[in-house]
Amino acid sequence: MVNPRPLLAFAAMLAIHFIVGPAVSVAQDRFIIVQSTTSTENSGLFDTILPAFADESGIEVRVVAVGTGQAIKNAQNGDGDVLLVHARPAEEKFVADGWGVQRFDVMYNDFVVVGPEDDPAGVGGSRDAVAALRKIGESKAPFASRGDDSGTHKAELQLWKETGIDVGSASGEWYRETGSGMGATLNTAIGMGAYALTDRATWISYGNKAGHKVLVEGDPKLFNQYGVILVNPDKHPNVKAEEGQAFIDWLTGPEGQAAIAGFKDGDQQLFFPNARR
Amino acid sequence: MPDAALAHSLEPRIAPAEGSAGADTGSVLPVSAAGLVFTVNGKRLVDIDRLTLRAGGPTIIMGPNGAGKSLLLRLLHGLIEASEGTVLFNTQPMNARVRRRQAMVFQRPVVLRRSVQANIDYALAAAQGYRGPSRRGRLRELLEMGGLADMARQRARTLSGGEQQRLALVRAVAASPDLLFLDEPTSSLDPASTHRIEALIHRFADEGTKIVMVTHDLGQARRLAGEVVFMHRGKVTEQTPANVFFDAPSSPAARDFITGGLLV
Amino acid sequence: MQDFASSFFLAVSLILSGDPELWSIVLLSLKVSLTAVAIAAMIGMPIGAALGVGRFAGRRALIVLINALMGLPPVVVGLMVYLLLSNSGPLGVLQLLYTPTAMIIAQVILVTPIVAALTRQVVEDLDAEYAEQLRSMGVSRLASVPTLLWDGRTSLMTAVLAGFGRATAEVGAVIIVGGNINHVTRVMTTAIALETSKGNLALALALGAILMLIAISVNAAVGLLGVRSERVAHA
């Protein structure tokens, strides 16, 4: 039997908790969890477009923003109702394996290679991503990679594969894998004067550019497609299929597509809707 | 929060005494130890064939450092387990009732991290039998007795060494024990504080509490002793009335001790 | 450093503006961490007290274990709780993942060993001083526990504040089990992580300054409470 007296202070803490409690938990009853990527979250896209959907449908969308690889794993565990990521082959595998119902294109933007202003590898102005990366690799200029199995990381590895350079063997030398999100990787790249591959939306809204700028863009290989998938309720009965499908329908429908097109940072459009229905 | 409710919540939780209130009568004296041995690593630090402490004047235990005096007090008071032998209190072994009829004050007073009066109140609660007005009355009485009434609400650990020892003394006699063990209670105190402590000890003895006290201070022993138990190397070498002991100790070790010749 | 100066002004203007977004994040942080610490104290103190005064087989090993658990990486705790609460996990049916409750659970796991280990030390040290005296008064080992906890209350308060510090400062566990969902599970540390990843370093630093302010306020409040309880105890 413990004397309750030493807990006097904690009783006070609990009291604070009960005062504080009602002030915060005003979340709606109807909600879905969307497993998505850091680029959509960091750019502010969701904060801008989701209120319109919530007002119209009464469904709150709760976004968990992680790398594409982790988002897919979380969705496979049933810890989400909708998956919105950017790694087409992995998305198609997700559906083919039965984890997702069907994949829909939502929007696209593009990847860009950013680097220091003095551009030691001399890739500035190039429209050929593979050639640019080859120059970076051959000059052993530092390159910061996500290294986290995200959509951006997968796209970057595909480009390196085409250069024929084995970045795995350069890991820890000029090729630095941060194992972190896009923003953290950009912070690292800027800190060490390294090049990096990033999606344009994250880069435009990124606030710590210092001297870094976009050096390589416009290569069709830098195309970055986002897809949306309803997690299969047959695999996970807890999936809120009705609400999740309502969100997908809205996102790929005229209103959602218009909202995406209308999302801008200054006068720059960050995502380009391309749903086909 | 009302004082009474708080005071109650701060009481030690003690299992109810076994037996009826009527069982809580009868002195725990005499104390008799038989074949009492305390061994550490094969060394017999205490080794006493027979020792009986009867009601009456204070018993002062003397002897050189390492003689086993403090160990003997702890064995008698039941703070440590004897390796062999028994201690009986008026034919009864140590039990909850016997425990409540005796108390001990240590060389360095252990005061709880509470106010002076909360320290005394804790002992009253532990002793049981004090409820409501009788407890408050006894509390005031003890504070007066220790000369602590002015500092009743002060934190006990902010008292001087002498005041802390007075607090420990009146806390020990809170429930009017039959038997009070004192382990060098004045060894680290100045003469004035020592004097006040001795006055309290005299008072307790006069009121019928049996004092069993360890001291190194020969003057103090002369002032307080009814009888002296002399220990040397774990054994009791003599148990004599005080006047006899100081005039003509019977054991050579005690003689050497009094004249300052005995080192170990 | 320009960043520090601009962060400081940003922090001040954020506080003064009373931005409701900021306040909801601050309140959620407090709610999650204070609840977690309260629960951790209720679990950790009895465990610590038992280890402090108890004498049983395996006690030493348990103490070593609990001391080691103080250094548990938050990410590992987050992962464990995620696997438990995931819809594919054993407790998935409770539907707690990505809720403040999940964050509280993770922080309870992080904080309990700190409270238990420090309580054990406090109780054991005090017991070394009190044991003979309490035994002399006829107070049993079990009955001495409340006395030791009460008399060690000042040190125990520090133990609890250490736990609170760990709870409010950690990001690794809550970001995994909470998901850093805006308006639902976003707390100070995950907001700081998010702003850092957006490259908004000044804003991230400003949020950090506000987090410090909260920590100082809670510590001061507990300090005042401690003084008050001291007065009550000596009344």
- Judging contacts by C-beta atoms under 8 Å, the chain A residues touching residue C45 are 2, 6-7
> In this predicted structure, what is the pLDDT of residue A24?
41
User: pLDDT tens digits for chain C (235 residues)?
Assistant: 456 787 788 888 888 887 888 889 999 999 999 999 999 999 999 999 999 999 899 999 999 999 999 999 999 999 999 999 999 999 998 999 999 999 999 999 999 999 999 999 999 999 999 999 999 999 999 999 999 999 999 899 999 999 999 999 999 999 999 999 988 999 999 999 999 888 888 888 889 999 999 889 988 888 887 766 665 554 4
Residue of C147, C153, C228 to mutate, testing the B interface (most B Cβ within 10 Å of its Cβ): C147
pLDDT at C235: 42
Superfamily of domain A110-222: Periplasmic binding protein-like II (3.40.190.10)
Q: In angstroms, what separates the C-alpha of B49 from chain C's closest C-alpha?
A: 25
Query: Is residue B82 within 8 Å of B37, Cβ to Cβ?
Result: yes
pLDDT given at position A266: 87
Dihedral of the alpha carbons of B171, B172, B174, B175, in degrees to the nearest 10? 150
Task: Look at residue A142 and give its three-state secondary structure.
Answer: coil
- Chains in touch with B (3+ beta-carbon pairs under 8 Å) read A, C
Q: Which residue has the higher pLDDT, A136 or C93?
A: A136
> Which parts of chain B register pLDDT below 50?
1-9, 15-24, 264
User: Mean of the pLDDT values across residues A209-222?
Assistant: 94
The predicted pLDDT at position A67 comes to 87
Contact (CB<8Å) C27/A3: no
Answer yes or no: same fold for A31-108+225-273 and A110-222. yes
CB C38 within 8 A of CB C107: no
Q: Which CATH class is domain A31-108+225-273?
A: alpha beta
Compute the average pLDDT of residues A219-225: 94
pLDDT higher at A9 or A162: A162
Whether A184 has a pLDDT exceeding 80, the answer reads yes
pLDDT tens string A227-274 = 999 999 999 999 999 999 999 999 999 999 999 999 998 888 999 999
Q: Which residues in chain C have their CB less than 8 angstroms from residue B99's CB? A: 138
- What digits encode the pLDDT tens for the residues B187-221? 989 999 999 999 999 999 999 999 999 998 888 99
What average pLDDT does the structure give for chain B? 87
User: What is residue A2's predicted lDDT score, i.e. its pLDDT?
Assistant: 40
Asked whether residue A1 carries a pLDDT value surpassing 50, the answer given is no
CA nearest to A225, candidates A186, A268, A269, A274: A274
Q: What is the pTM of this model?
A: 0.83
User: Which residue's structure tokens are 């976009």?
Assistant: A214
Residue A62 has pLDDT above 60, yes or no: yes
Rounded distance between C-alpha atoms, residue A123 and residue A133, angstroms = 8
pLDDT score, position C229: 61
d(CA A97, CA C181): 28
Domains of chain C (ranges; CATH) run: 21-187 (1.10.3720.10)
Q: Domain ranges for chain A, please list them.
A: 31-108+225-273, 110-222
Measured between CB atoms, does A19 come within 8 Å of chain C?
Answer: no
- C88 CB neighbours in chain A (<8 A) are 76-79, 236
Q: Helix-strand-coil percent breakdown of chain C, rounded to 5?
A: 80, 0, 20
Q: pLDDT tens digits for A76-125?
A: 999 999 999 999 999 999 999 999 999 999 999 999 999 999 999 999 99
Nearest by CB to B112, from C132, C146, C151: name it.
C151
ipTM for the predicted complex comes to 0.85
Distance (Å, whole) CA B219 – CA B242: 12
* Mean pLDDT for all residues in chain A: 89
Ramachandran region of residue A225, left (φ > 0), alpha (ψ -120 to 50) or beta?
Answer: beta
Whether the pLDDT of residue A70 is over 60: the answer is yes
For residue B3, what pLDDT is reported?
45
The Cα–Cα gap between C214 and C34 comes to: 12
Quote the pLDDT of residue A122: 94
- Please tell me whether the peptide bond between B30 and the residue prior to it is cis, using omega within 30 degrees of 0: yes
By CA distance, what is B6's nearest residue in A? A5
